[in-house]
Amino acid sequence: MEENLNLSDESVADVPVEISADAAGAAVAAPAKKKHTVNQQKLQDNLWGWIFCLPLIIGTVWFVYYAFILALMLSFTAYDASQGGLMDAIKNYTVHPEGAFYWYKQLFETVGGSDLSGNYDFVDVTDPATGLVISQIDIRMNEMGRYLFNTVFYMIGIPIGMVLSVFFAVCMSRDIKGGNLFRVLYYIPCVASSIAIVYTFKIMFRTNGVINSVLGLTDFKYPATGKVGFIWISEDTTLGANWNQLCGTSIESGFMLDPYWCQGFFSKAVIIIMSVWKGLGGTIILYVAGLSGVNAATKEAAQIDGANGWQIFWKVTMPDLYPVIFYNIVTSVIGGLQIYAEPELLMSESTASTGFPMVSGYVALIYRYGIVEQTFSRGAAYGMFLAIIIFILTLFQFWLDSRRSD
Amino acid sequence: MAENEILENKGTPAKEVPLPGSATPAELRAYYSPLRYGLGAVLAFFGISSKTHRASKKRAKLVADIVTYIILLFGAFVMVYPFWWMIAGSFAATAVKNDFIYDLVWWPEFSVLNQKDLNGNVYGFFYNYQFFLGGAFDTAISMGYLGVTFWRALLNNLLYSIVPVVIGVITSASAAFSFAKIQWIGRDVVFMILLAAVMVPGPSIMITQFVMYSDMHWQENGLVLLIPGMFGSIMTAFFIRQFLFGLPTSIIEAAKIDGAGYFRIFCQFILPLAMPAIMAQGLLSFMGCWNNYMGSYIMIPYNSPAINLPHAMYLLNVNILKSNLGPNIAASVLCVLPVIILFGCFQKLIIGSLMLTGSKE
């Protein structure tokens, strides 16, 4: 690659080259030697330019682009762990026997429990008077639908976090002493390990934990089972009967009995609270940086013209913040689509986790099919679907960005 | 205007409204009801101007400052409280009863010296830490749930977060130097191609990376967390490049005239001059690597001696410490404390860099 470029460089050197600012060193040389030294300089520039970024180029091409192209290729095959190494798969490349897009179809067509233990298939309906199981209702639904809904549901945290961080950033950028200290304190959760934070929150949200004591929910009674204390995180299917009684719904209400919906919202709320809390510091710093760029002269002019604080905030400060807010929302949505560790850690109780339909994000499906079940092609196809979504979002961002600058 | 006309039509003389700036307090008191006047006085005390009183600017600022402080202090409390809870919980006497950690709000029932747990074991104040470092790991290893001792996991963690970060940040800086200060053919195209790699989401290439690394046998020995990081990252290079644009090119030209080669320029000029950016990016990626639970969890088998500390913590939690929560929280403290101390030491540099680049990690 380098050799090629150097050669091509010499071939163009016959054409008179303009002396760039970088070739200032060559410019001091005598005019007769000038052409030669310029070439020498250019050669040096090209050679060292490539050498300096070679490691980064190799790393990115090898670990990102090569992996991406392979993932795209493998997603059309039936490759799994039984078929040997990657090289064998490429040499004997054949598309999936049931069609190249088999796994993509599976993604949309897989219906059912999506849990190895068979939960989320059927749920018992118990008669509150006798406590006996009178029937079962079918709660199966599209697997990707469940996981993708979780992922999208967590994005409720993005506007909440945005409003809170703008609010705190405005407070911090006031002319007060110790603003820097607050910035540091608010940023601490961002640097903390997510596993430690998840375990802490898991215990804090127990039925008799701190959160329930503060909110006064330790005495919350579940009428059907007689349990005391509000349950935030649980996949227990028997809780549904309690919700039926509390909300006065029919005892066969699938919405209440499926732990994914009614009870699941509380478990998902824990993750939203946790991610808002963890991400707040980072966005506050972004907004404080954005606010420091707000034109002080414009603010003063508005003040003289008789605008009050509220008007100044909406008409002067916010328009200057919009680019930062916009950038932050886009990165949060793209990051939010890739949520995996937090829900998994919150629920996991065994070494090999196959995903938790109640809380897991979409990435849990990739992990489950690709790594736990070792059907690499399926995992790759599921990953490609995520890449497509994120790619479209990125293009949308560029489109909005270009419209704004026009 | 219209109002005045109406008033005149009605025949009642328009009463002049006294303003707090020009009228005397007596006039104002006569004009407004005592209740309204009193309310105005209270509002003015809190820095809010109204029809009856004009609050002083100084008072308004003071009140606003106090309100800001109250809001910020409340926020800071919410942000820091879980860490206090974590530290307090790590000293709870959960060996006696797990409820001690559930009931914990401010401080727990502490472990006391020479108290015995249900099995008759004597424990002291640091019981949770001792149990986590010793007993928990030993049990897990003997039962085959885990292949590392605590110290090995800690060493792995240090290795994974120092070696790739130091080398990676230097390779990123060299690429940034090349992109910012050297003119070579195809430079901008190459940069855009590399930058486009940011769009490829990690989870979508996770599976092929997994197969690649397992083909190369990088998983059991932990090379998977060492080697890819050494090639640097495009985002780090991007931010250092932004920083280098701010440096004058004339320094490099002067060095070139004096006969220094590019390698020498990079080592003797660029690295020292770009040190603030390099340090900040290095520290951020250090913290990222220290907390890299996902990398180890996905890529390294659980019984390998190469797993890192968060992964070991996870395995202990799901296998051994499910019912004994004190040591669990002690482990969390051990995981979180080093990064918080590091952040405390370099907070100015890190926050400054974050504010400059607008990234958030």
Contact assignment for B68 to A380 by CB distance below 8 Å: no
- Chain B residues closer than 8 Å to A337 by CB: 201
Mean pLDDT of B22-41: 79
CB contact under 8 A, B355 and A46: no
B292-304 per-position pLDDT tens digit: 988 899 899 888 8
What local confidence, expressed as pLDDT, does residue B16 receive? Answer: 67
Question: Which 229-248 residues of chain A touch chain B by CB within 8 A?
Answer: none
Amino acid found at B131? F
Of B145, B207, B307, which to mutate for an interface test with A (greatest number of A Cβ within 10 Å)?
B207
Q: Which among B233, B325, B336 has CB closest to A196? A: B336
- Is B106 touching A (CB cutoff 8 A)? no
* Pairwise CB contact (< 8 Å): B339 & A193: yes
In angstroms, the Cα distances linking B137 to A101, B87, B149, B228, B335 are 46, 21, 6, 29, 15
CB B201 within 8 Å of CB A337: yes
- How many CB contacts within 8 angstroms connect chain A with chain B? 311
Give the predicted TM-score (pTM) of the model. Answer: 0.85
Would an 8 Å CB–CB cutoff place B360 in contact with chain A?
yes
B345 interface with A at CB cutoff 8 Å? no
Distance CA B251, CA B181 (A): 11
**Cβ atoms of residues A48 and A9 within 8 Å:** no
Based on its alpha-carbon atoms, the radius of gyration of chain B, rounded to whole angstroms, reads 32
Instruction: Give DSSP secondary structure letters for B111-143.
Output: --TTEE-TT--EE-TTHHHHHIIIIIHHHHHHT
Asked if A200 lies within 8 A of B89 by C-beta distance, the reply is yes
| Whether the Cβ atoms of residue B263 and residue A52 lie closer than 8 Å to each other | no
Asked if B344 and A184 come within 8 Å (Cβ–Cβ), the reply is: yes
Q: Which residues of A touch B330 (CB under 8 A)?
A: none
DSSP string of A306-329, one letter each residue: T--HHHHIIIIIHHHHHHHHHHHH
Closest residue in B to A88 (Cα) is: B215
pLDDT recorded at residue A72: 93
Contact A200 B256 (CB under 8 A): no
A204 in contact with B, Cβ within 8 Å: yes
Amino acid code (one letter) for A309: G
| B145 and chain A in contact, CB less than 8 A | yes
Name the pLDDT band for B117 (thresholds 50, 70, 90).
Answer: low
Nearest Cα to A96, choosing from A106, A111, A87?
A: A106
**pLDDT tens profile B147-173:** 888 888 899 999 999 999 999 999 999
Question: What pLDDT tens digit does each residue of chain A (406 aa) get?
Answer: 334 444 444 444 444 444 444 444 444 444 444 555 668 888 888 888 899 989 999 999 999 999 999 999 999 998 888 888 888 888 888 888 888 899 998 888 877 755 656 667 777 777 777 777 777 777 778 888 888 999 999 999 999 999 999 999 988 888 788 888 888 899 999 999 989 999 899 888 888 888 888 888 888 887 777 778 888 888 777 777 777 777 777 777 777 777 788 888 888 999 999 999 999 988 998 888 888 877 778 888 888 888 777 888 888 888 888 888 888 888 889 999 999 988 888 887 766 677 788 888 899 989 988 888 888 999 999 999 999 999 998 888 888 878 776 6
Q: How many helices (H) and strands (E) does chain A have?
A: 20, 4
Segment among A81-90, B116-125, B203-212 with least mean pLDDT: B116-125
What is the predicted pLDDT for the residue at A129?
Answer: 73
Contact A349 B318 (CB under 8 A): yes
The pLDDT score that the predictor gives to residue B115 is: 60
Closest CA to A381 of A98, A59, A192: A98
- pLDDT, residue B164, reads 94
Question: What's residue B159's pLDDT?
Answer: 93
Q: Across the interface, do A52 and B103 touch by the CB < 8 Å criterion?
A: no
Is B192 within 8 Å of chain A by CB? no
Distance CA B280, CA A170 (A): 25
CA–CA distance, A178 with A176 (Å, rounded to integer)? 6
A183 interaction partners in chain B (CB closer than 8 Å) = 351
Handedness of CA B19, B22, B24, B27 (dihedral sign): negative
Query: Residue A49 and residue B330: Cα distance in Å, rounded?
Result: 49
Look at B113 and B76; give whichever has higher pLDDT: B76
Q: Which residues of chain A are within 8 Å of residue B347 when distances are taken between CB atoms?
A: 184, 187
Residues of B in contact with A185 (CB under 8 A): 76, 79-80
Per-residue pLDDT at A253:
73
Model confidence at B136, pLDDT cuts 50, 70, 90, reads confident
Question: Mean pLDDT across chain B, nearest whole number?
Answer: 83
- Phi, psi (degrees; rounded to nearest 5) at B27: -60, -45
Which chain A residues in 56-115 lie under 8 Å from chain B, judged by CB atoms? 56-60, 62-68, 70-71, 74, 85-87
Contacts of A341 in chain B (CB under 8 A): 293-294, 297
Distance CA A120, CA A235 (A): 10
Determine contact: A376 vs chain B, CB below 8 A.
yes
Task: Say if A139 is an interface residue toward chain B (CB within 8 Å).
Answer: no
- Position B119 scores a pLDDT of 60
A287 shares contact with chain B (CB less than 8 Å): no
* Residue numbers of B between 3 and 62 with CB closer than 8 Å to A: none
Asked if the Cβ–Cβ distance from B75 to A324 is below 8 Å, we say: no
**C-beta separation of A171 from A287 below 8 A:** no
Distance (Å) from the C-alpha of residue B43 to the closest C-alpha of chain A? Answer: 17
Lowest-pLDDT choice from A92-106, B43-57, B236-250: B43-57
Which residues, in sequence order, are CB contacts of A299 under 8 Å at separation 6+?
Answer: A312, A316, A317
Encoded tokens for B158: 């240090």
B259 dihedral zone (left: phi>0; alpha: psi -120 to 50; beta): left
Band of residue B112 on the pLDDT scale cut at 50, 70, 90: low
The predicted model gives B339-351 an average pLDDT of 88
Shortest CA distance from B237: residue in chain A: A56
CB nearest to B257's CB, from A25, A199, A324? A25
Q: Which of residues 115-144 of B touch A (CB under 8 A)?
A: none
Q: Do B205 and A68 touch (CB under 8 A)?
A: yes
Q: B234 to chain A: which residues are within 8 Å by CB? A: 56, 60
> How confident is the model over B266-299, as pLDDT tens digits?
898 889 988 888 998 899 899 999 999 888 998 9
Across chain A, which distance is largest between two alpha carbons, in Å?
Answer: 106
Q: Which two tokens stand for residue B226?
A: 């060492």
At A271 the pLDDT is: 93
Cβ of A196 and B187 within 8 Å? no
pLDDT of residue B109: 65
Q: Which residue of B has its CA nearest to A389?
A: B201
Cβ within 8 Å of A, B 196-215: 197, 199-212, 215
- Residue in A172, A194, A214 closest to B293 by CB: A194
Cα pseudo-dihedral A257, A261, A267, A269, rounded to 10: -140
Residue A398 CB-half CA count within 13 A? 7
Subunit contact A86:B212, Cβ cutoff 8 A: yes
Is B164 part of the contact surface with chain A (CB cutoff 8 Å)?
no
Residues 275 to 304 of B: which have CB under 8 A from any A CB?
287, 290-291, 293-294, 297-298, 302
The residues that bridge with B116 in the sheet, in sequence order, are B122
Asked if B155 contacts B222 with a C-beta cutoff of 8 angstroms, the reply is no
User: Which 3 state secondary structure label does DSSP give A137?
Assistant: strand
| A393 interfaces chain B, CB cutoff of 8 Å | no
Give dist(CA A245, CA A250) in Å, integer: 8
What is the pLDDT, as a whole number, of residue B121? 63
**Contact across the interface for B102 and A186, Cβ inside 8 Å:** no
Q: Which three-class secondary structure state does DSSP give residue B343?
A: helix
pLDDT above 60 for B143: yes
Chain A positions in Cβ-Cβ contact with residue B172 (cut-off 8 Å): 56
What is the structure's pLDDT at A178? 81
pLDDT in tens, B322-341: 777 888 888 889 889 989 99
A272 touches chain B (CB under 8 A): no
Confidence (pLDDT) at A4: 42
